[in-house]
Structure 1
Amino acid sequence: MTPWEPRARMRRRSKGAIMKSETLTVRQIFQDRRQYCVPFYQRAYVWTQRNQWTGLWQDIQEKANARVSGMNITPHFLGAVVLEPQVKHGLMGVDTLHIIDGQQRLTTLQYILASLLLALRETGMQAFELSVIACMQNTNEETMRNPQMERFKLWPTFRDRPHFEKSLAIQQLEDFRKEFSAHFTQHGTLRKHYDHPPSLAALWFFTAEFSEWIRSGVDQELSYAEALIMAVLQDLKLVSISLEAEDDAQVIFETLNGRGAELHATDLIRNYIFMRADHDGVDAGALYNSQWLPFESDYWSTKQRRGRINKPRLEWLIHSTLQAEMGSEIDLSRLYNEYRRYAAASPLPKTAGRQLLTLNQYAGHYRDLISMSGLSPVARLGRRIAAYDVTTLHPLTLLISVAEVGDAEKTQMFNDLVSYIVRRAICGLTPKNYNNVFLSALRHLTKSGISSEELRSYLGTLKGDASRWPENSEFRNACICAPLYPGRLDAAKMRSLLTELEGALRLSVKSEESGLPDLTNLDIDHIMPRSWHTNWPLNDGSSAANIDEADIEIILRSGGSLTPKAAIDSRTARYRSNLGQPDATEFEREPVSATLRLSVEAGQADCQHESSSQHPIDSETEVERARNCSARRIVCRCGSESLAKGRMTPTYLAPFRSSTSRSE
């Protein structure tokens, strides 16, 4: 008993359906005038020599050897196929059955029969051709509606049709070299490392094996050829399950989908959607071409890793879409079941057209978000949060992005989310609760309406270190005293921070190069050299070598002490001079950094110049002065304090805003 049989019986008993089940040989499967159609929405043929063909050939060879040796023959079962007979109107045309499950097996059997025919011709055993052709081609083309299609016993999905028809039309093995010339070497052998059409690879493999085995029967080639044909047509068997009108084809497909090559959740979802399309009575083919076909591209099948989980990009899209639409946590390991729950949700099940419109709507925004290209609000957000790897934000982001609100409103909401994420990172607060925070925010917006006021109000109510939005005083203190880099921020996050600061500075001086620059090719450097205190005397001429290392580290790793690598200020020049080093060369300064406002900031003034009557430095030691200077560069020049004067700043440095007025 094969593994599928108990499950199938339980399903029949639980559903009360009656299915016609019978065990058939390959000859019985294909001998009648009928065509097995692979529904266009099913996946393409995926079996390979390494994973399936070699093992199947060994099974066939075992049966053929048994026949040559005169041994008792026991059948070899290939598993089950589930078929759904289609209604035939009138006398024209062949009988048609949709393959609900088992298309890989039936397609492979057609490749085996075509290879067997070629092997017979290669070995001069044409006397047996008709027995094989009868299982490959339907007859009486005069009564076919579409002879070009209906003459085939099996009609594959449209992605496989071109190479399927081309390969099965080959009359001699050498014709492959002409029809598929790019796939062969100059010596006429099939290229080893090449993306061959499955039909070409399958027929080339099986024909070579069949021909070699027939020739191994020296002076008995005819007997060997007959044994091989009988092994295929008579000794290979399948269980054919034909559905009745009341049977649920989708349920049967799901029950048996675990065999053969692994199905992704998206394969099941696609199958579910288009079975729904058949139920809705719409043109499923047109719907597929217009709404689903883009999801078959390499872009959506490419795998993306999140932590330890590596899934096709399409699965991540559907996962985020379901969370945005349902406002609940979605179990990725049960994505298909979760999707069915979404599609069948009350008050009325969603039509196939509606499901596909929703997926396509979210797909465009999701692509902008993760590709970080374009000028849409969600694309700009993607660029700004890329360094923080907060994929738990995706569902909320998509909900906002697809909402019918203006771009200015979306931008404001995205600004607040960036402020929330970056402030928490700089203040050393954990991101571990982000999944709950953003999902709760999503539910809040779904219930109350999607607006920047509602989002800001929600973020303002969050309490506790696990979720709160830091206020200005805490944020300012972190900028001044916290060890940012290395420390709370890695290189990517620190570069993102400097990028935002550079953009704000450009806006503040109305630079021709406004907007966020690309600093990805610049390293992060410390304005104050890491070993400055051993070579750089204080203003009074005394040595700084004995200053507390902890204080030095605070200065070096605080935000104001960091800049893109090529920014060389007067303090660095003085440090070089004390070490007897020459000034920086033009090459070292790097032309790209010369245009950065951060570089100008670093080179225009030292700490003494930056202290002013508006921002007096009360500290008495050089260390304290350096600390204040360092912090003022990020806080006073580009930070929250300067907002009182109405200067442009990065949004995540903006004052904490909420529905409730707060004093600091």
Structure 2
Amino acid sequence: MRSDTWTVRQIFQDRRQYCVPFYQRAYVWNQIEQWEPLWQDIKIKAQARLDGGTVTPHFLGAVVVEPQSRIGLRGVDAFHIIDGQQRLTTLQYVLTALLIAFREIGVQGLDVTLDQCLENGNPDTMNQPEIERYKVWPTFRDRTHYESTMAARALRDLKDGFSSNFTRTGDLRRIGMVHPPSLAAIWFFAGEFIAYIEKSEASKDAAAEALAMAVLQDLKLVLISLEADDDAQVIFETMNGRGATLHATDLIRNFIFMRADRDGADAQALYDGRWTQFESNVWSTRERRGRLLKPKLEWLIYTALQAETHTEVDLPRLYADYKAYALNGGQPRTAEAQLLTLDRYAVHYTALTTGQGSLPVARFGRRIAAYETTTIHSLALLISASPLSDQDKAHMFNELVSYIVRRAVCGLTPKNYNNAFMAMIRHLAKNGTTSEALRAHMASSSSDISRWPTNAEFKNACKTAPLYYGRLDAPKMRQLLTELEGELRAHNRSEEPEIPNLANLDIDHIMPRSWYTHWPLADGTAVTSAEASHALLAERNGLPTTAAQEQIRERELSIPTLGNLTLLNLSVNREAQHREFQVKRDLLIRNTNLSLNVQLLDRPAWDIKEIAAQGDRLADAAARLYPGPPE
């Protein structure tokens, strides 16, 4: 960043405009807390000049601005005010009040200097003279009264423009009236300036010039101008003692609506029609992804920007990346175009993250929610916002679910998913967003960090891998069993083909993890937990094992596999817990209608052979439900 100490005249004399960001509050300074102390400072400097004493600068503080790129030769240099908008706006009111006071008193010769600090000249060289003429351009919340008061060159102009704010005697109303802040400020300062000049022992011209010099030369600010690599968000928070929260989305909102001004668009209409939805609590709610906690709107823009640009976005530099996208290599996207893009992605993002609605991406969101794979969201938005048919989108989403589920069941890491899904985005951007392109890319990798498990590997994991407890936590395991229930129903002549809500069911090990009391070995031998522990130690240490120990280990290894898992009503599960199979089976006969459990109802016993058979059945169903790469 660049830092310089500037006088008020230096800040305002060039052809430049300081734009107040939309994320900043409206003008709130008032007479008691700010204007009166500022007037006293100005008066002290003016009097020191009249008395011929030493005049030292009076520092008003720091102002932080961010230069904006100008497109073409026309227009004025624009700066977004990151911090200090109240100071700069107040100074414009002070200068306007000076001009009015001098004209009311009849002082000549200072108008040109003050006009140069209030307006940019030569409208023929501007893109939008009605906006670019102003040295400071407020948010739309202040613009109506700001433009009216800044155009005033006499007290009569203020009275005519705001007649309802004045009494019949020409004074500002004091009771039951909240005045526009620009009117109140200019009226206050103009009154004080007029009174000072009229009461001064010096000539009117000398007193007026002393006031002008006190404002233009003796008031100074530290102007900090950000450069390309500076982070406006961090600067704002630092300048405000980290007491004010500024999000990247605040800067983006400001950027969009400053673009609206330059487009000549109706910023208020765009704000009301396209942006207000993002001001709701839904979008300001903070959501966690890994260790990062950000407002939902920030995640939307981050996700949509990756889907739109097909490139990885640096979240800490989201504003900078968004600005580069919007400027579009010198062909800026209009504010309306940017808002339409955000609105379009918001529909798909909402469906994805809530799982609600009829869009294919909503069902996809429901299916992957348990896997907490948010790095796939940009890819999902790319597909969902594409012109593909819903059938094609559903097919692509099914294959992505297959990719995630198969890798989880096979114990493959999700740590590289950010790179894997970004590679898929780039591949689709290059080769077309089609199911064929996606499938070919997913099947092309042979590395453990990104490959798509084959049918053989997946089915073997379903049969033999420790899924629960093991590779899948409870939400993932419940989701897998729920989807398998749906697949089984689809291939049975079920009275209830649609999957009911199974979210409240318990995940049950049919042969319980604590099986020692009620589940003897096939030859009737009872086993204690201590004997099971000895068998495990012998296996781990490579010691010779007995036939009984081998049976124990086979049983222990089969318990967390898919073939031994099902869903049960909470109360049924509690009643059957650790009990022998016949008790559990009888409870199921009375209380279950799940296809997962139908095969259990006519079984006289339940051991590793039955678990293996059920595992085969469910592995086949899983392979149909989650189709794998071509073989």
Which TM bucket (shorter chain)? 0.5 to 0.7
2:286 aligned with 1:303: yes
Query: In structure 2, which of residues 599, 616, 629 is the aligned counterpart of residue 632 of structure 1?
Result: 616
Cα deviation 1:526-570 (Å, max 9, x = unaligned): 111223244323454444664444322321100121111339999
What is the alpha-carbon distance in structure 2 between the residues aligned to residue 140 and residue 98 of structure 1?
Answer: 31
Partner of 1:366: 349
CA contact (8 A) 1:372 1:383 kept: yes
What is the alpha-carbon distance in structure 2 between the residues aligned to residue 583 and residue 394 of structure 1?
Answer: 42
CA contact (8 A) 1:291 1:357 kept: yes
Give the gaps of 5 or more residues in structure 2. Answer: 42-54, 68-77, 92-148, 167-171, 182-214, 529-547
Amino acid in structure 2 at the alignment position of 1:457: A
Amino acid in structure 2 at the alignment position of 1:599: N
Partner of 2:543: none
Give the CA deviation at 1:501: 0.8
2:471 aligned with 1:488: yes
Cα deviation 1:359-397 (Å, max 9, x = unaligned): 111111111111111221111111110111111101111
Give the CA deviation at 1:147: 2.5
CA contact (8 A) 2:4 2:222 kept: no
2:377 aligned with 1:394: yes
2:365 aligned with 1:382: yes
Query: In structure 1, which of residues 548, 553, 556 is the aligned counterpart of residue 559 of structure 2?
Result: 556
Give the CA deviation at 1:312: 1.1
Partner of 2:430: 447
2:450 aligned with 1:435: no
What is the alpha-carbon distance in structure 2 between the residues aligned to residue 573 and residue 102 of structure 1?
Answer: 66
Judged with a 3 Å threshold, the aligned counterparts in structure 2 of structure 1 residues 148 and 355 are, in CA distance, closer, same or farther, namely farther
Give the CA deviation at 1:348: 2.5
Judged with a 3 Å threshold, the aligned counterparts in structure 2 of structure 1 residues 150 and 364 are, in CA distance, closer, same or farther, namely farther
How do 1:471-482 and structure 2 match up within 5 A? 471-482=454-465
**3-state secondary structure, aligned to 1:80:** strand
Aligned Cα RMSD in Å? 5.0
Partner of 2:258: 275
CA contact (8 A) 1:343 1:349 kept: yes
CA contact (8 A) 1:567 1:603 kept: no
Partner of 2:594: 596
CA contact (8 A) 1:573 1:583 kept: no
CA contact (8 A) 1:21 1:239 kept: no
Partner of 1:614: none
Give the CA deviation at 1:442: 0.6
2:399 aligned with 1:403: no
CA contact (8 A) 2:508 2:567 kept: yes
Judged with a 3 Å threshold, the aligned counterparts in structure 2 of structure 1 residues 578 and 38 are, in CA distance, closer, same or farther, namely closer
How do 1:151-162 and structure 2 match up within 5 A? none
Amino acid in structure 2 at the alignment position of 1:557: P
CA contact (8 A) 2:165 2:173 kept: no
CA contact (8 A) 1:555 1:561 kept: yes
Amino acid in structure 1 at the alignment position of 2:629: R
Please give the TM-score of this superposition, normalised by the length of structure 1. 0.60
Give the CA deviation at 1:333: 0.7
Amino acid in structure 1 at the alignment position of 2:563: G
Cα deviation 1:469-521 (Å, max 9, x = unaligned): 00111111101111000100001110110111111122222545434432221
Cα deviation 1:191-225 (Å, max 9, x = unaligned): xxxxxxxx9xxxxxxxxxxxxxxxxxxxxxxxxxx
Amino acid in structure 2 at the alignment position of 1:424: R
What is the alpha-carbon distance in structure 2 between the residues aligned to residue 483 and residue 147 of structure 1?
Answer: 78
Give the CA deviation at 1:78: 4.3
Partner of 2:162: 147
Partner of 2:44: none
What is the alpha-carbon distance in structure 1 between the residues aligned to residue 581 and residue 348 of structure 2?
Answer: 55
What is the alpha-carbon distance in structure 2 between the residues aligned to residue 366 and residue 320 of structure 1?
Answer: 8
Judged with a 3 Å threshold, the aligned counterparts in structure 2 of structure 1 residues 308 and 568 are, in CA distance, closer, same or farther, namely closer
CA contact (8 A) 1:372 1:382 kept: yes
**3-state secondary structure, aligned to 2:3:** helix
**3-state secondary structure, aligned to 1:77:** strand
Give the CA deviation at 1:267: 1.5
What is the alpha-carbon distance in structure 1 between the residues aligned to residue 235 and residue 165 of structure 2?
Answer: 28
Give the CA deviation at 1:39: 5.9
Partner of 1:227: none
How do 1:114-153 and structure 2 match up within 5 A? 140=155, 147=162
**3-state secondary structure, aligned to 2:288:** strand
Please give the TM-score of this superposition, normalised by the length of structure 2. 0.63
Give the CA deviation at 1:253: 8.5
CA contact (8 A) 1:527 1:569 kept: no
What is the alpha-carbon distance in structure 2 between the residues aligned to residue 44 and residue 451 of structure 1?
Answer: 46
Cα deviation 1:214-238 (Å, max 9, x = unaligned): xxxxxxxxxxxxxxxxxxx9xx977
**3-state secondary structure, aligned to 1:311:** strand
Partner of 1:463: 446
CA contact (8 A) 1:507 1:514 kept: yes
2:63 aligned with 1:80: yes
Residue range with higher mean Cα deviation, 299-308 or 73-82 = 73-82
What is the alpha-carbon distance in structure 2 between the residues aligned to residue 438 and residue 266 of structure 1?
Answer: 24
Amino acid in structure 2 at the alignment position of 1:345: N
Aligned length: 475
Give the CA deviation at 1:104: 6.4
**3-state secondary structure, aligned to 1:305:** strand
CA contact (8 A) 1:567 1:599 kept: no
Percent of residue pairs identical: 41
Partner of 2:301: 318
Give the gaps of 5 or more residues in structure 1. Answer: 13-17, 24-35, 64-71, 85-96, 111-135, 152-167, 177-198, 200-232, 609-621, 641-648
2:523 aligned with 1:523: no
Give the CA deviation at 1:22: 5.9
Judged with a 3 Å threshold, the aligned counterparts in structure 2 of structure 1 residues 520 and 81 are, in CA distance, closer, same or farther, namely same
Judged with a 3 Å threshold, the aligned counterparts in structure 2 of structure 1 residues 299 and 479 are, in CA distance, closer, same or farther, namely same
Give the CA deviation at 1:583: 9.4
Give the CA deviation at 1:409: 0.2
Judged with a 3 Å threshold, the aligned counterparts in structure 2 of structure 1 residues 146 and 553 are, in CA distance, closer, same or farther, namely farther
Amino acid in structure 2 at the alignment position of 1:147: F
What is the alpha-carbon distance in structure 2 between the residues aligned to residue 582 and residue 475 of structure 1?
Answer: 30
2:262 aligned with 1:266: no
Amino acid in structure 2 at the alignment position of 1:476: K
2:625 aligned with 1:657: no
**3-state secondary structure, aligned to 1:535:** coil
Judged with a 3 Å threshold, the aligned counterparts in structure 2 of structure 1 residues 428 and 22 are, in CA distance, closer, same or farther, namely closer
Partner of 1:27: none
How do 1:144-183 and structure 2 match up within 5 A? 147=162, 171=175
CA contact (8 A) 1:527 1:561 kept: yes
2:13 aligned with 1:41: no
Partner of 2:3: 7
CA contact (8 A) 2:63 2:81 kept: no
How do 1:220-239 and structure 2 match up within 5 A? 239=221
Judged with a 3 Å threshold, the aligned counterparts in structure 2 of structure 1 residues 300 and 107 are, in CA distance, closer, same or farther, namely farther
Query: In structure 1, which of residues 492, 507, 520 is the aligned counterpart of residue 490 of structure 2?
Result: 507
CA contact (8 A) 1:266 1:315 kept: yes
Judged with a 3 Å threshold, the aligned counterparts in structure 2 of structure 1 residues 77 and 506 are, in CA distance, closer, same or farther, namely same
